[in-house]
């Protein structure tokens, strides 16, 4: 399941449950601020570490947090505030997962197909981001939130299992070991500027 959908589901639940602009604003802050912050570092981590493993760890952390929330809801704790720490964890995981996936694609796809695959991936991501709030609302009207969270956990397990089967070529680490993460981030910001 795509990371954008995983973040939007709690937003949809909060919107349907509270109809409060303040609660939605808090969820937006919790759901995107960590992702924005960690994405600065994630690019450097992705360049230095195993991308496949980072994707699986990030997805696993998101699934574990979601499972914990599902179990709390199943136990009868339906307080909205429980969603906020989970949103923080899910956003941080997504902040790592998205750059890792974007960096992994060129490792897996032949150079002559890279533009086509990136275009298809970008289109699918946009479509998912467009449809996920409506899909989340429709799913939440048909099933309790606990069931939806468990589906999210099961799809994460399937995704992680599929990642195990993908053979990823090993990259030669071209980063000088004595360089700090901050140096690489500064260098990246300088390049963008």
The rounded Cα 40 to chain-centroid distance in angstroms is: 15
- For every one of its 193 residues, what pLDDT tens digit does the chain have, with 9 covering 90 and above? 445 445 466 766 777 677 778 888 888 888 888 888 888 788 888 888 888 999 999 999 999 999 999 999 999 888 888 888 988 998 999 899 988 998 898 888 888 999 999 899 989 888 887 887 777 777 778 888 888 888 889 989 999 999 999 988 777 665 566 677 677 777 777 777 7
Handedness of CA 169, 46, 51, 125 (dihedral sign): negative
Cα–Cα distances in Å, from 97 out to 44, 48, 52, 119?
13, 14, 10, 19
pLDDT value, residue 190: 78
Q: CA nearest 59: which of 142, 193, 182, 158?
A: 158
Which CATH code, of 2.40.240.10, 2.60.120.20, 1.10.3720.10, 1.20.1250.20, is assigned to 3-184?
1.20.1250.20
**For 171, phi and psi rounded to 5 degrees?**
-95, 145
CA distance 121 to 102: 9
pLDDT value, residue 129: 79
The residue extents of the domains of the chain are 3-184
Q: CA nearest 97: which of 171, 188, 6?
A: 6
Are 61 and 93 a contacting pair, CB within 8 Å? yes
């Amino acid at each position: 399941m795509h990371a954008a959908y995983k973040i939007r589901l709690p937003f949809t639940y909060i919107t349907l449950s509270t109809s409060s602009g303040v609660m939605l604003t808090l969820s937006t802050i919790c759901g995107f601020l960590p992702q924005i912050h960690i994405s600065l570092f994630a690019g450097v981590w992705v360049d230095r570490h195993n991308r496949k493993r980072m994707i699986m760890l990030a997805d696993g952390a998101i699934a574990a947090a979601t499972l914990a929330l599902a179990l709390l809801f199943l136990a009868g704790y339906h307080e909205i505030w429980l969603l906020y720490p989970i949103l923080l964890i899910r956003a941080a995981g997504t902040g790592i997962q998205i750059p890792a996936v974007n960096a992994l694609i060129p490792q897996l796809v032949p150079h002559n197909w890279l533009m086509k695959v990136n275009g298809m991936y970008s289109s699918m991501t946009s479509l998912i981001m467009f449809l996920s709030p409506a899909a989340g609302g429709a799913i939440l009207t048909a099933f309790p939130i606990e069931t939806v969270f468990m589906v999210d956990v099961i799809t994460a397990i399937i995704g992680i299992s599929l990642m195990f089967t993908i053979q990823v070529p090993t990259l030669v680490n071209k980063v000088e070991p004595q360089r700090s993460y901050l140096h690489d981030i500064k260098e990246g910001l300088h390049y963008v500027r």
